[in-house]
């Protein structure tokens, strides 16, 4: 997310003093925003409390307790796949955002599905069992790693708000997390680590990721998109009267 925010700041799509909401947030998000000198943000998650973070409020991403268009920018960093309805959470983020949505999640591609079969990527975040939390809706039940496609993002937003032609920018690459290969007391070792050892697997995976980022970056497991809601024009069939009465770009009768 830090790399993505730097890029978005350079493009001047957002400003450091924008009113920002972070959903499914944690202490790492707070560190990144402080490091990049953001000054006006609220972090939310399903946790009752979040140690160290002062500007925090408990909130379920799938049912945010905020009015429509309450925040200029809304972002989520690897949190939607912890929800039992990722699409509902995305729609809620869209609802409370006025200008910009920033979403960092995982991507569903043929190569990523192959990585899952090879044990290089996970289908379920099994670490939740050992951690006794952080899984599905912050329980110790391992959440399914819901991965998105570009087309799915477009269809979800078009369904929720068909009045606008959504301006969406996609970013993707391959990223490797060593945590996938760490053993835990409930599930044992990763199959590849059992066969070849952790160090050899790490070298192999790093080489594969390097090659893939050179040849097929757009197929990467690491996926982000930015929706410029304010700059998304109305459909040509929306009348001037409807534009005046539109809320969130969704028409209210």
CA distances from 34 to 9, 16, 31, 204 (A): 14, 10, 5, 35
Contact at 8 Å (CB) between 56 and 44?
A: yes
244: how many CB neighbours lie within 10 A of its CB?
A: 7
Six-digit token string for 132: 């006794």
Question: Each residue of 173-196: pLDDT tens digit?
Answer: 998 766 666 655 544 566 667 777
Question: Each residue of 3-29: pLDDT tens digit?
Answer: 999 999 999 999 999 999 999 999 999
Write the DSSP assignment of 90-115 as a string of letters: HHHHHHHEEEEEEEEEEE--HHHHHH
pLDDT at 162 exceeding the cut of 50: yes
Architecture of domain 2-232: 3-Layer(aba) Sandwich (3.40)
Question: Each residue of 113-161: pLDDT tens digit?
Answer: 988 887 777 888 877 766 777 888 888 898 999 999 999 999 999 999 9
This prediction has a pTM of 0.87
């Amino acid at each position: 997310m830090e790399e993505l925010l730097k890029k978005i700041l350079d493009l001047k799509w957002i400003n450091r003093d924008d009113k920002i909401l972070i959903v499914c947030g944690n202490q790492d998000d707070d560190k990144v925003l402080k490091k990049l000198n953001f000054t006006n943000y609220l972090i939310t998650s399903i946790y009752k409390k979040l140690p160290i973070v002062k500007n925090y409020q408990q909130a379920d991403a799938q049912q945010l307790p905020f009015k429509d268009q309450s925040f200029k920018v809304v972002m989520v960093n690897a949190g939607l796949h912890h929800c039992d309805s990722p699409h509902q959470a995305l729609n809620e983020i869209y609802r409370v955002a006025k200008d910009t949505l920033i979403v960092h999640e995982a991507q569903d591609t043929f190569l990523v599905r192959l990585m899952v079969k090879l044990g290089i990527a996970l289908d379920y975040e099994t670490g939740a069992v050992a951690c006794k939390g952080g899984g599905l809706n912050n329980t110790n039940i391992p959440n399914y790693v819901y991965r998105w496609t570009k087309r799915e993002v477009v269809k979800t937003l078009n369904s929720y708000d068909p009045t606008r032609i959504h301006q969406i920018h996609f970013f993707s690459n391959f990223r490797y997390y060593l945590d996938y290969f760490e053993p835990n007391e409930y599930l044992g070792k990763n199959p590849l680590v059992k066969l070849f050892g952790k160090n050899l697997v790490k070298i192999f995976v790093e080489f594969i990721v390097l090659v893939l980022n050179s040849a097929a970056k757009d197929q990467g497991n690491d996926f982000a998109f930015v929706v410029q809601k304010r700059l998304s024009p109305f459909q040509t069939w929306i009348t001037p009267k409807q534009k005046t009465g539109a809320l969130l770009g969704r028409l209210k009768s």
